[in-house]
Amino acid sequence: MPPFGKVLVANRGEIAVRVMKGIKEMGMKAIGVYSDADKYAVHVKYADEAYNIGKAPALDSYLNIQHIIDAAEKAHADAVHPGYGFLSENASFVEAVEKAGMTFIGPSSEVMNKIKDKLDGKKVANMAGVPTAPGSDGPISSLDEALKLAEKIGYPIMVKAASGGGGVGITRVDNSDQLVDVWERNKRLALQAFGKSDLYMEKYAVNPRHIEFQLIGDKYGGYVVAWERECTIQRRNQKLIEEAPSPALKMEERESMFEPIVKFGQIINYFTMGTFETAFSDATRDFYFLELNKRLQVEHPTTELIFRIDLVKMQILLAAGEHLPFTQEELNRRVRGSAIEYRINAEDPINGFTGNSGFITYYKEPTGPGVRVDSGVDTNSWVPPFYDSLVSKLIVYGESRPRAIEAGIRALNDYKIGGIKTTIELYKWIMRDPDFQEGKFSTSYIAEKTERFVKELRYQEEMRAALAAEIQARGLNRTTQPQRAVIQRSAWKTYGLNSQANVRVMW
């Protein structure tokens, strides 16, 4: 018996399609929503029913709570899945879903209100014994206060927006002059993106890696930690490549985080999926809590592949009141191999990762052993400029990390997208880089290697352009040459000439 009859997916793109697949496999109806810009999008076509929720800008559609609730009521939905981003961690949205008599597939509004922002998360982390970085315990009221605290904890520091995510409003600062430069700018960014300008500061970890832990909990106090994901390959604090498990951690280091993370969940009665983002120092081997993401993560497929579980289906079942189906020990025994995810973004790495909206003129996904693609586009799809640049995710699996890298190189070579620029070519260079292959990297990896990668990509693009021009020129020369007279030969003479040229033709 399916837990719900109809589930509305309050999102778009690849995550909407991914969630809808899980919903349909469980025997339920998948309800989609779309803005004017997404009228012909893949997730709209894939849904059993789809409803327009407003104009192209997200504020008028995917961030409009009342429009989504109206669509859910019109569709007679029993539950709402938020995906990630947009309203997925908005307590007011969860309250609206619950007030309308529907189930929110995620933590309850009560839980959401306990962790409204990163600073709330840091307070609970301290209570639970989850390691936190030195810094402010609350919002910093002024630049003068920030300068005094920075001198106390020592540079470099990270200035962070208390609300939101996605790397917005987060800046590394190495001295007081930089702090003066970024303070007001980050406040404006935070206000524009999240509606709150609160900033706080933390000590910057030495040679940091970005490692996150997957907490899974039911409504009855049962918890497991589905190990971790390495999210260190990023630019401007936005992830590009993720993998599971991390190549940096020893088993005892990994397990040292399980107990405090579970205690965190117990303190606030957390349930369904939650992700603990941490900074991990290769130099000191210390973890520092960054934030709790109260939703499904973009990179969840890597965990699914190494544990052979479906996190979307499990999230739905846990929200419906099911018990956890395994213990920590049972989950640990399921781990196999290594998985890597590549975020295929409509961006131009050669020109500072600028967005590249437009129509996709050709689309061919890679296939074969150990290859999975979660996509929200197809040939003729329009990639609009209004939303995140992610168009699909390529996920590969191997029995070991080197085998996963091999599968990734092959799949990246096989992935063809025409009409827009993407990050695929960049990832090919990263996969061949010895530092990546040996697992030697920090969050500054892309910044440090950008110049070399861009040089290689630009040379590659110039060679392709030169080759295309040469081919076109030769084609034009052929068409301008006078036509040669066609010599008519009998079939017997042709056969005889071929026979003399190659004796194998005769037999």
Is the omega angle on the peptide bond into residue 245 within 30 degrees of 0, that is, cis?
A: yes
Q: How far apart are CA 288 and CA 311, in angstroms?
A: 26
504 pLDDT band, cuts 50/70/90, is very low
What's residue 481's pLDDT?
57
Tokens 């982390």 belong to which residue?
A: 125
Q: Whole-number mean pLDDT of the chain?
A: 92
Closest C-alpha among 328, 356, 203, 359 to residue 258: 328
- 240 contacts 232 by C-beta, under 8 angstroms: no
For 21-25, 104-108, 486-490, which range has the lowest pLDDT when averaged over its residues? Answer: 486-490
pLDDT higher than 70, residue 223? yes
Q: Is 225 exposed, middle or buried (0-12, 13-18, 19+ CB in 10 A)?
A: buried
What does the pLDDT look like over 303-362, one tens digit per residue?
Answer: 999 999 999 999 999 999 999 999 999 999 999 999 999 999 999 999 999 999 999 999
487 pLDDT band, cuts 50/70/90, is low
Q: Among this protein's residues, is 464 annotated catalytic?
A: no
What's residue 116's pLDDT?
85
pLDDT higher than 70, residue 164? no
- 277 contacts 291 by C-beta, under 8 angstroms: yes
Long-range contacts of 478-484, Cβ-Cβ distance < 8 Å, separation of 24 or more:
none
392 pLDDT band, cuts 50/70/90, is very high
Q: Which two tokens stand for residue 178?
A: 């930089």
Catalytic residue among 12, 295, 372, 401: 295
pLDDT higher than 70, residue 499? no
What region does 370 belong to: left with phi over 0, alpha with psi -120 to 50, or beta? left
Other CB atoms within 10 Å distance of the CB of residue 503 = 9
What does the pLDDT look like over 263-317, one tens digit per residue?
Answer: 999 999 999 999 999 999 988 899 999 999 999 999 999 999 999 999 999 999 9
Tokens 């006078």 belong to which residue?
A: 482
Q: How far apart are CA 61 and CA 39, in angstroms?
A: 12
H-type alpha helices, 142-237: 143-153, 176-194
Q: How far apart are CA 29 and CA 78, in angstroms?
A: 10
